[in-house]
Each structure stands twice: as C-alpha cells, then as structure tokens.
Structure 1
C-alpha cells in the first residue's frame, strides 16, 4: 500500500477549476442543443445553416461529444483534485482540435470561439499537469 501525500492547492486553483467546469458544462449544453434540434427548429434557420446541420458527419458529432463530456469530467476531476484529470482533459483537447479543424478548414466557419476553445483546452491540460507536479492532485 502506498502512502500518497498531497499538498493543499491554492484557492485560485479551485476557482479556475470551477470556472473550467462551468465552461465545459456550457459546452455540453451547446452539444445537446445542437443534437436535439427538431426538424421544425432546423427549418427556421437560414438555408446555409440548414444545409450545414444536414451535412454534419457523424464523426464530427462524436468528436464534439467527446470534447465536451470529457472536458466536463476532466474539470470535475480538477475540482475533486484527481490526477486522472490530465488524461481526460487531454482526450477532450484532441477531440476539440479535430472538431475545430473541421469547422475551420472544411466548413470554413470560424469565429473568436474557435481558437478560444483550443486555447482553453491547452490551458486546462497544462493546469492539470502543473497541479500534478505540485502535488495538488492525488
């Protein structure tokens, strides 16, 4: 049996972890909002958006789901001070990169959120690694 000792993280770590959890929970809401749109709701969108939603490949929706659900679970792991947050957040980041590349390079749909999502993902992976090295996660 190993005796693992962890140091208490500073308050800013908990604050950032909670903000990350909220950020990723909003991503889950966006995913659910997109995937649960009815045909009637899609019909009310501009024609270009109707075509986009009709032609999204299933792997894109899979990447979207993995990105937001893994991000939420990984952020929860940060709040709970668990080392495995790093692995889950890394999976989330890879899925988000795949998703954002499709939006940016295939659909050519970019806005300020596209790079922000990637940067937040990178920051969370870095934070989880940093927290592990500091002994804040067990």
Structure 2
C-alpha cells in the first residue's frame, strides 16, 4: 500500500507553528503549576490557589496529558506524521474532561474564576480545531 503525500500549503505551516506555541504555553502553565513557580502563584489570589490545590490529582494528570500530548501532536504535525491526529484527539479529550470538571462540577467555594472560565472555553475550541485540522491534513495527504 502506498501513501500519497502532497506538499502542504504555507498556511499549514503557519497554523502548525501557532499551535505548537499555544501548546508550549500550556506546557509552561502545567510546569508552573506543578512546581508552584511564581508565574503560577503570582497570577492568582491566595483563595484561588487554595481551591486549585484542593482539586483531585486526576485533574492535574489530565492537565499534563492534555498539554504534553498536544505539544507532541503539534511537533508531529510539523514533521508531517499521521500520529499527530491521535495525539491531538487525546489532548482534546483530556482537556475537555478537565475543563468540564472545572466549569461544572468542581467546588470552587464561591471564588471568582471568571477569567479562567473564558480560557477554559478557548482551550476546548482550539483543541477541537486542532483535531479537525489534523484530520483535514490527513485527508489532503499533507501528513502520512
């Protein structure tokens, strides 16, 4: 079986690089949170940090899965590898479960997280876009 690989357009590369930068920011966010770096602690009030520290460990694990599979998926997009699609699907699922828990299930103790809520929706939409983009790239023969 031969796989046809077509040359991707310039916008494929632009989107892939932007997606990698986006996911790189996610990796930075995860590392900042996991190691409680000032980039993380300075962005929240004491009350917000207490609520976030009380989130279950599986929530943090989903964060790691979402950002690292997303970043690796974007690297594979740039390398034009079909496995990018699977990693971006995994990233989307992990991010969506994490954000649904944060938005609708977690006990936020009445603390205002409105800025985080906007970002949560943006993350889900962008992750879904990357699933579509990788699927489209496979169909067009840009990645194999």
Q: Tell whether the structures are fold-level matches, with TM greater than 0.5.
A: yes
Aligned mates of 1:135, 1:116 — CA distance in 2: 28
Count of aligned positions = 135
Question: Residue 103 of structure 1: CA displacement?
Answer: 1.4
TM-score norm. by structure 1 comes to: 0.89
Question: Residue 49 of structure 1: CA displacement?
Answer: 1.6
Name stretches of at least 5 consecutive residues in structure 1 with no aligned partner: none
Q: Could you say if the C-alpha distance between residues 107 and 25 of structure 1 is closer, same or farther in structure 2, counting changes exceeding 3 Å? A: farther
TM-score norm. by structure 2 comes to: 0.85
Question: Residue 114 of structure 1: CA displacement?
Answer: 1.1
Residue 124 of structure 1 is matched in structure 2 by: 130
Residue 28 of structure 1 is matched in structure 2 by: 27
Residue 119 of structure 2 is matched in structure 1 by: 113
Name stretches of at least 5 consecutive residues in structure 2 with no aligned partner: none
RMSD, aligned CA: 2.1
Aligned mates of 1:15, 1:107 — CA distance in 2: 39
Of the three residues 129, 133, 136, the one matched with 2:139 is 133
Question: Residue 84 of structure 1: CA displacement?
Answer: 0.9
Question: Residue 3 of structure 1: CA displacement?
Answer: 3.4
Question: Residue 46 of structure 1: CA displacement?
Answer: 3.0
Structure 1 SS opposite 2:31: helix
Residue 3 of structure 1 is matched in structure 2 by: 2
Question: Residue 47 of structure 1: CA displacement?
Answer: 3.5
Question: Residue 26 of structure 1: CA displacement?
Answer: 0.4
